[in-house]
A = this chain, B = another copy of it.
Amino acid sequence: MNVRTLCLGILAFEEASGYEIKKAVEDGMFSHFIEASYGSIYPALTQMLADGLVSVREQVQEGKPLKKAYSITEAGRKALKNSLHELPQQDKFKSEFLFQALFRDQVDPKHLEAVFNEQMDYLCGELATIEECRQSVEPGSGHAFVNGYGHAVVSAAIQYMEESRSSLGLPQKPISSDAAE
């Protein structure tokens, strides 16, 4: 999948600016597909505008910079549908974190612990976000499936990592960003 299709997908749900798309991809409802930087989002929108897949509405805001709100057009919806049918890759299970874990005896223990904890924090953060989202998505929708899948997979990862702490020679309770404080 490319950034164009991702943007088109987001715009199929809601009008958005390049900036808002970036936020949605980083954190929001669309953070579980692919990553995208400003350097790919803005050119994608410009190109799609030229191709007639999206339209712009320039919003003048008080006390804030000019915002270009993009909307999907009928041609855009068609193009999205088309892209959806052409996506060939089923996604493979890949993880760079696991690569680091594989060579755990090659890295120094402090670093291993840091990597492990960062990964753990990320996963816990994701789980929290997913659980928050659950309230706002309607059951049976595409979003609900995405959330459910995410929840299942991320929980499993967290659970396995928690169980593996000792076998990796890591201290049992690191900082616990949740319960404490």
- A residues apposed to B, CB below 8 Å: 1, 5-6, 9, 12, 31-35, 77, 80-81, 84-85, 87, 89-108, 111, 115, 118-119, 122-123, 126, 140, 142-143, 145-146, 148-150, 152-157, 159-161, 164, 167-168
Contact = CB atoms under 8 A, between A and B. Distances in A.
A121 to B, nearest CB: 8
B161 A156 contact: no
B92 A153 contact: no
Contacts of A145: 98, 101-102, 104, 164, 167-168
Given A33-B98, A105-B142, A149-B164, 10 more contacts: A1-B99, A34-B96, A80-B106, A81-B107, A85-B107, A87-B100, A90-B115, A102-B142, A145-B167, A152-B160
Contacts of A159: 152
How many copies of this chain sit in the oligomeric assembly?
A: 2
Contacts of A32: 93-95, 98
A77 B107 CA distance: 11
A101 B97 CA distance: 26
A145 B111 CA distance: 17
Contacts of A152: 156-157, 159-160
